[in-house]
Structure 1
Amino acid sequence: MLLALALLSAIAPLATDMYLPGLPALGEDLGAPTETVQLTLATFMAGLGIGQLVVGPLSDGWGRRRLLLGGTVAFAISGVACALAPTAEVLIGARLLQGLSGGAAIVLARAVIADRAKGDAAAKLFSVMMIIGGVAPVVAPLLGGALLGPIGWRGIFWVLTGAGVAMAVGVLTLIPETLPAEKRHGGGLAAHAHNMRYVVGNRRYVGYALTFVFGFGALFSYISASPFVVQDVLGMSPGQFSVIFGVNSVGIVGGSIVNTRLIGRFHARQLLAFGVTLLLAAGVALLLEVTLGGTHTAVVLPLLFLVTTSIGFIMGNATALSQAQVTKAAGTGSAVMGAGQFGLAALISPLVGGSAVQMASSIVVCGAVATTALLTLGRPAPRPAPSAAEAASPLA
């Protein structure tokens, strides 16, 4: 079941990274400028955010499984629309639908784990899911680069359609319903509003969720700009970009593996603090290099690897810590995180463009916000002072 959930979470990197090497060719084929081509990425991310915000709260009342099945089937159908799109405008609309349906899979995969595990066990499961799902961003750009020549960017969307079908089969055969009827609310706008107030009113949840959202924002700053920075600024080929992107994705997997091994020896919050510190430090060094150092490949690429490695310490721990604060509305909690995650990504995509300076600046800003949120809103509640009787007790 964990493998199936990880594959569901891999919908986003699959649908994002597989076609990245083909973005320049896609623009030429459809006669669209770079800004319009990047909208196919931005609208997909916006759809992922909106889809999670809608489906997550619904699942707290309707259950997880049938919504998971509907989302994966819709993802496959939208893949067909992308593959057949005659214009950039049609492709943008199809990508929005693909994002909306993919959002259901992502938010519900997190909610299913939150239904089944708590504490360090949940942190380990989220990290293991990131390791398995992390194979997708490693394989996706390499596969996309290899397929781009033989089948073109349209063929890549046909492959994504097949992935959607496979995920629907996985839901049918491997994932049971994890939210019993007695734990569901009655549904309706009033129940959704109550759950939303319960979630966003929890200070520690908000702190961990913001750390998660802006950690992903830093990652997406790299994802969105890297095809143009690596190929146009550093002068590398699409094939070389695919290899570099895959290597950096290994950083996410490696960070997640180390994080999983350290949970138990260190608290998830300590590991999360290490992750945001590494992210911010690598981002600042990268910004200094691209503004003052001359954008040397031998410096830029290792710093990007450190940025992606830090994500392995951020995403799983921040998810587990935030979900632990709102166990009575796990679907809504997951939805708010996902909406923020991909909503921010949709804003970042057109802002970073293809500029190394804008990419590095965005990474630094996101890293700074993530660190501030963890240190302020996400800090543990202080222990109450002992009473006079407790202080006098030998056990005190």
Structure 2
Amino acid sequence: MSARQRLRLVLVLGSLIAIGPLTIDMYLPALPDIAVDLHTTSAGVQLTLTGTLAGLAFGQLLIGPLSDAVGRRAPLLAGIGLHVVASVLCVLAPNIGVVGALRVLQGLGAAAASVVAMAVVRDLFTGAAFAKLFSRLMLVMGVAPILAPSLGSGLLRWSDWRGVFVALAAFGVLLAAVAAVGLPETLPPARRLNGGVGATARVYGSLLRDRTFVGLVLVAGLAMAALFAYVAGSSFVFQEQYGLDEQQFGLAFGAGAIGLITATQLNVRLLRRYPPQRILVTALAVGTAAGLVLLVVAVSGLGGLASVLASLWVVLAAGGLALPNAPALALSRHGEAAGTAAALLGAVQFGVGALAAPMVGMLGTGVVAMAVVVAGGMVAATVVLLVVVRPGRPGGVTPQAVAVAAH
């Protein structure tokens, strides 16, 4: 593959991956406005975020094995089409219940783009080439959450919250055209898995019987839950409690995302000197400590907004180190079923995240509610790592994990 072809592939796959973060984060500045316009509570509007995450979780379980059986292009284009239709209908939605249901469909569509993008990388590359390309895509995954709230804030200057969904629909149409023209089928019929539902169930069963794999998946999910608690609560905390406007919120949210993406890129350098399990243990220890500091600051009010932002930044940076390494260690155990293992991993991450969002809403809209769930996610991830995974025991991690984690 030439340098030009590789660049085009990175741009296409990066665009596919971006649709998930944009769908999740672009409407965050509008959550308070949606609550007012549709006469609902903060917990009610946060359930629309839960719907998106639930769609992403279920969609990965469904689309991962499907793309292994029928090829990559058909599920991808169908998923993007579903996302576009759901986005258009969100513009017309009369109440919060309809918005929530449509956000589930948006999540299903975004899951297709995410799963297929990852599968295409594995179809075409192995070893160091795989890790290098994946690192470029991780940059996209980090930049998209930084830009999404700012894009949403900019749209809210000229439109109401429905304009955000118009923009998502337009992006979906553009993405479908790009994928149709620029992404050929990468899974030939000879390599497709046609064992049906029974074979898929057996693969999932073998994964679930691996204690270390399950523990690492839960660690990744709980760390993700801490991050999604921040995503769900931040717009209310920063705008309603601390008085930031929509543009200031976008900047504050972006600063946290910068911490996360910086840590993911630092991880590549750290892996040259330290094994991934050591980085994971250290990251969770730091994240747990920062989460508990956040909780103390939130309850006491000590240091105000500056202390909250600083504590959150450390939590997000710790998450940026934990999230590449926990999945890498998990996937290194099941190379023969990497696609299905990746689907299960993604489903758990987004599924646990889907539970974290309404927990913040049920506890309230203030910084204490957000801090409780953020700290709780980090503490729970650390406990699962030490009790279930037990990283110090021999034979728990394969050497291939280092290469996989390098992305």
The question of 1:308 aligning with 2:320 is answered no
Letter in 2 for 1:382: P
Q: Which moved more, 1:184-193 or 1:120-129?
A: 120-129
The question of 1:141 aligning with 2:149 is answered yes
Q: What is the aligned-residue identity percentage? A: 40
Letter in 1 for 2:264: S
2:394 is matched with 382
The question of 1:257 aligning with 2:268 is answered no
Counterpart-to-counterpart distance in 1, 2:241 and 2:340: 41
Deviations 1:124-182 (A, max 9, x none): 54443221221111111111111102022111111111221232233223434444434
Return the TM-score normalized by structure 2.
Answer: 0.87
Letter in 2 for 1:356: V
Deviations 1:63-113 (A, max 9, x none): 333212221222122111112212222212211111111122223333333
Name stretches of at least 5 consecutive residues in structure 1 with no aligned partner.
385-396
Deviations 1:309-352 (A, max 9, x none): 22221222223322222222222212211221121122111111
Letter in 2 for 1:379: P
Q: Which aligned pairs between 1:226-305 and structure 2 lie closer than 5 A?
A: 226-294=234-302, 296-305=304-313
Matched residue SS, 2:159: helix
Matched residue SS, 1:152: coil
Residue 227 to residue 123, structure 1, CA distance change in 2 (3 Å): same
Deviations 1:181-215 (A, max 9, x none): 34332232211111111222223322322222111
2:40 is matched with 32
1:366 is matched with 377
Name stretches of at least 5 consecutive residues in structure 2 with no aligned partner.
1-8, 397-407
Counterpart-to-counterpart distance in 1, 2:379 and 2:334: 25
The question of 1:45 aligning with 2:53 is answered yes
Residue 31 to residue 358, structure 1, CA distance change in 2 (3 Å): closer
The question of 1:215 aligning with 2:232 is answered no
Q: Which moved more, 1:205-214 or 1:155-164?
A: 205-214
Letter in 2 for 1:337: L
Whether contact under 8 Å (2:262, 2:317) holds in the other structure is yes
Matched residue SS, 1:10: helix
Whether contact under 8 Å (2:222, 2:353) holds in the other structure is no
Matched residue SS, 2:273: coil
Counterpart-to-counterpart distance in 2, 1:41 and 1:186: 34
1:391 is matched with none
Deviations 1:229-282 (A, max 9, x none): 112222222221111011111112211221223333333333333322222121
Matched residue SS, 1:134: helix
1:96 is matched with 104
1:173 is matched with 181
Letter in 2 for 1:42: T
2:203 is matched with 195
**Number of matched pairs:** 384
Q: 1:59 aligns with which of 59, 64, 67?
A: 67
2:89 is matched with 81
Whether contact under 8 Å (1:120, 1:263) holds in the other structure is no
2:28 is matched with 20
Deviations 1:351-371 (A, max 9, x none): 112132221121222112222
Counterpart-to-counterpart distance in 1, 2:350 and 2:94: 26
Return the TM-score normalized by structure 1.
Answer: 0.89
Q: CA deviation at 1:119?
A: 6.3
Whether contact under 8 Å (1:128, 1:260) holds in the other structure is no
Residue 125 to residue 320, structure 1, CA distance change in 2 (3 Å): farther
